[in-house]
Amino acid sequence: MSTPLETKMFLTVDDVCELMDVSKDTVQGWLADHSLKAFRKERTVRISRKAFDAFVEEHPW
């Protein structure tokens, strides 16, 4: 059983794509220009819910 995206503490790039209805390239661009903050360890990327919510607040669609 998976955790609903709305309650996850940490999101993957795929999770952000699904929540924002954008492509992986778009999310990776946000990560590259540091407008979306993330934790990186080797090839693993996780976005905290707090960082995601702050990004959405600053960049309303």
> Mean pLDDT per segment of 10 residues, for the chain of length 61 residues?
80 96 97 96 95 93 69
Whole-number pLDDT of residue 7? 84
Q: Structure tokens of 29?
A: 């661009």
Whole-number pLDDT of residue 59? 87
Tell which phi-psi region holds residue 28, choosing left (phi > 0), alpha (psi between -120 and 50) or beta.
Answer: alpha
How many folded domains does the chain comprise? 1
What are the contacts of 13-16 at 24+ separation with CB within 8 A? 13/45, 13/47, 15/47, 16/47, 16/52
Q: Is residue 3 part of a domain?
A: no
Q: Is residue 22 part of a domain?
A: yes
Q: Is residue 4 part of a domain?
A: no
Q: Which domain holds residue 26?
A: 9-58
